[in-house]
């Protein structure tokens, strides 16, 4: 029987493995710092678990790449982190951070699994998904135990099964507006929560970044995140629903360098990409027209911010190039 692992990697398999490798090198840097910074003996094992898992992932991907003579990406190294830097985030925020990153990893690898065909690549994506679920469980259970887990709003249980009968279900610009569906509430809650977490993380990065342009970019990100938090929180509150808490107080006053500006820019860019995806999913799941229009109005602003971030990374030579398709015109013109 033919060895199916000798089948060449598809473009989708290459991109998934390449992105995961970069992300795991970042995870190693972040977890090395967290291990030195964390004081809570219940949080420390989670940082240890995350570091061990990221290193294991890197080993597996290297083997897959070497099998296909694929160049190993550079990603991030010990030069991109100062593990001995003073405490920048609270121990509780470390839990929140890991939980948020596990959500992003699960989404990415579910997508990767859906397009992978080679058995060893399929097995790898399944592993990442299993590890992401494990991290969800570890962080959720400890946050519930410590009383720091913020749950989405409660609403009343429906009396009966019902069907939509009027077009007014879709309206929202004029006249009486219907209450939000549970799906719309969920997306509003998640977008407040993710932007609150993002703002706290970017605040810490802004305090410790070195380059003036990077600092300016991060300050702009703080302002955008706060704007989105205010918009979505106000929508929830006006409907008598609670909004998630801010994490601003989770950032200390330290200004010592922790991470390289290259790592900071990549991390923020990855979170921006996840945020764009969140807005898109929320818009698709929000039939009330005013709510869908609100998401649509914000998308160009965050997309422009993402583009400016990419341009800044290119300017400094920090943006590692993903695998590219062959340029046939260039090959034909080659002398």
pLDDT means over runs of 10, the chain (335 residues): 72 94 97 96 96 97 93 95 96 95 91 93 96 96 94 84 63 66 92 95 96 97 95 91 87 96 96 91 87 91 95 95 79 71
Instruction: Say how far apart CA 23 and CA 28 lie, in whole Å.
Output: 9
**Helices and strands in the chain: count of H runs, count of E runs:** 9, 0
Do 9-146 and 179-316 fold alike per CATH? yes
92 vs 209: CA distance, rounded Å: 23
Can you give the pTM of this predicted structure? 0.91
Given the candidates 2.40.10.10, 1.20.1260.10, 3.40.50.200, 3.40.50.1820, the CATH classification of the domain at 9-146 is: 1.20.1260.10
CA distance 56 to 127: 11
Residues 153, 235 contacting (CB under 8 angstroms):
no
Topology at the third CATH level for domain 179-316: Ferritin (1.20.1260)
Taken in order 127, 108, 152, 147, the sign of the CA dihedral is positive
Domain edges within the chain: 9-146, 179-316
For residue 278, the SS3 value is helix
Locate 279 and state its tokens. 């807005």
Contacts with 186 (C-beta within 8 Å, 6 or more apart), sequence order: 152
Q: What is the pLDDT of residues 33-76, one digit of tens each?
A: 999 999 999 999 999 999 999 999 999 999 999 999 999 999 99
SS3 labels along 91-142? HHHHHHHHHHHHHHHHHHHHHHHHHCCCHHHHHHHHHHHHHHHHHHHHHHHH
């Amino acid at each position: 029987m033919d060895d199916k692992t000798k089948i060449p990697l598809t473009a989708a398999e290459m991109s998934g493995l390449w992105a995961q490798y970069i992300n795991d090198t970042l995870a190693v840097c972040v977890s090395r710092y967290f291990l030195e910074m964390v004081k809570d003996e219940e949080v420390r094992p989670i940082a240890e678990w995350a570091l061990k898992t990221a290193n294991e992932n890197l080993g597996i991907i290297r083997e897959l790449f070497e099998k296909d003579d694929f160049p190993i990406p550079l990603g991030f190294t010990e030069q991109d982190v100062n593990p001995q830097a003073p405490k920048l985030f609270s121990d509780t925020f470390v839990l929140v951070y890991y939980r948020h990153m596990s959500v992003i990893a699960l989404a990415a690898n579910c997508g990767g699994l859906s397009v992978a065909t080679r058995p060893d690549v399929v097995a790898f994506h399944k592993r990442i998904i299993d590890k992401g679920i494990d991290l969800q469980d570890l962080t959720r259970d400890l946050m519930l135990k410590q009383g720091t887990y913020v749950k989405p709003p409660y609403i009343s249980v429906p009396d009966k099964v019902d069907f939509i009968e009027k077009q007014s279900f879709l309206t929202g610009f004029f006249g009486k507006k219907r209450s939000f569906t549970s799906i719309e509430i969920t997306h509003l809650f998640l977008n407040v929560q993710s932007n609150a977490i993002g703002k706290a993380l970017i605040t810490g990065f802004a305090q410790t970044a070195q380059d003036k342009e990077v600092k300016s970019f991060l300050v702009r990100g703080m302002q955008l995140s706060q704007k989105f938090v205010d918009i979505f929180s106000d929508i929830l509150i006006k409907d008598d629903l609670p909004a998630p808490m801010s994490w601003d107080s989770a950032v200390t006053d330290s200004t010592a360098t922790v991470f390289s500006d290259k790592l900071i820019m990549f991390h923020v860019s990855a979170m921006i990409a996840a945020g764009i995806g969140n807005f898109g999913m929320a818009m698709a799941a929000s039939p009330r027209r005013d709510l869908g229009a609100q998401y649509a109005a914000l998308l160009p602003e965050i997309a422009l911010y993402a583009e400016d971030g990419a341009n800044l990374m290119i300017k400094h030579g920090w943006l590692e190039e993903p695998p590219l398709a062959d340029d046939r015109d260039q090959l034909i013109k080659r002398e």
